[in-house]
Structure 1
Amino acid sequence: MGRLWTQPSTVLRPQDSSFFSGDRSQLQVYRVLTLLGAAIILLFGPLYATSNPEAVDPLWGRIGMAALLGALVPASYVSAHIRSHYASWMRGLLFATMAWVVIVATLNRFEGEFAVGLLVGYAAITAVVGMSAESGRPVAWFSGIGLLLAAGGIGVSSVLGPGPETDPLLLLASLASVGLAEGLAIQRLLFAQQTLQTQKEQLHCITGNVSEGIYRSTPDEGLVYANQAFAEMFGY
């Protein structure tokens, strides 16, 4: 099983010498998430068709959205710019995906399965945006814009048709709750990562100085000799 995963994952791992090991691993994960997202978009088509044969779900739109998202992976092999800014490109396409999910839900008047699909899509895309973010700002932007898109779709459905099948207030409250909970969790995770990185840098600095420090101490006199690096570190 490990070998089956290692082979495709190696293909998705960038080999750029300008990338650090951590950056290569991060880009590898982004590529996997991108392909997974495209596959899920295609998978939801048959699920909707099975649960609701009368649903308005253009096949060309679903295939086009999945192809647009999936095309980012091969494009990242060709363009060094896309490799270096993959997270930004991915977030842009995820915004487009969210808009498309809202449009499909609006066309179907937010019926049960489409309301659930909207909620699942909103939660999943918010989580991926959070994984690719270095601060909480992109998550907050996406959560807010996604909520506004959903509210706009509900408004259009109410004006042009018989209105949403799902209670609009319940749906918007559910989306807001999911966005808030994920936003807080992602913010906490980012804070923990930043704290860990700061502690790692401090430890690296201390070990680097200690490796250069030569000192001698006695119980009576204490520290009696230190080189410059060690003295500066401890304020002597």
Structure 2
Amino acid sequence: MMTGSPHILIVDDHREIRDAIAKYLEKNGMRATTAANALAMDAAMKVGQFDLIVLDVMMPGEDGLSVCRRLRAQDGIPILMLTALGDDTDRIVGLEVGADDYLPKPFNPRELLARIKAILRRSERARMPGRNIAGHRLAFDRWVLDTDRRKLIDTEGAEVALTTSEFRLLTVFLARPRFVLSRDQLLDLTSGRAAQVFDRTIDNQINRLRRKIEADPTKPVLIATVWGGGYSFAADVREVP
């Protein structure tokens, strides 16, 4: 799982392209390392850890398709391939040998950044712990959530109505108790989209959910705020008949 800023390895034999990509990614909060060919890439990977590789198809020596095939046989690092404009063969073969996405040259750097972020979110979600809770009744604090019937019931048998967004948010927390989840992760897990600048969607949903499940919403103990990190579900969760 990533810690800190994502570290991207850019492999392209055109210095202007790889340097321009590196500069743009660094301007947008990422770390970037460049390599001119497969040999330089291998050397960089021996001394550094990377979250994603931007890999050009057309390179002297070992080409990008061969590199992608080799990396897929030994590593699960995400790969975004750069292909020649309109070259569907490279695109299709690249996806077949294991690339996560592709982008034809020339490209808009904003689109490259968006695709990198999307791949990183999918990769992070795939590694994120969490159990399948569909079809179960889950007890926490004074509540039981029936995931099949989508009903939240207190110890006295009273039902509390949940909106679809509140239900999704609660199930995400119950599947990952005591795990710190960022706002971006929560938004991706609940709705499959990335947060925009100043996006308060998750904060608003959590405030509404707290009003329904916390004994005192002004002093929450079930959904804890982790300053600088996000939120964590702080109660024990168990299955009940």
TM-score category of the 2 structures, normalised to the smaller one: under 0.3
The structure with more radius of gyration: 1
**TM-score of the superposition, structure 2-length normalised?**
0.25
| Higher percent of residues as strand | 2
**TM-score of the superposition, structure 1-length normalised?**
0.25
